[in-house]
Structure 1
Amino acid sequence: MLIALADCHNSDTGRCDPGNAYLADVARCTKCSVINAIEELEELGYLSAKKSNGRRTNYDLFLQVTGAMI
Structure 2
Amino acid sequence: MPRHLWHDGGGLRHAYDTASYPFPPRPGEEITVLCGAEVTLVREDFPQLPEHRKHPTCWECDAAWRRREGLAPRPAVAKR
Q: TM-score, normalised by structure 1?
A: 0.25
Q: TM-score, normalised by structure 2?
A: 0.23
Structure number having the greater helix percentage: 1
Larger C-alpha radius of gyration, 1 or 2? Answer: 2
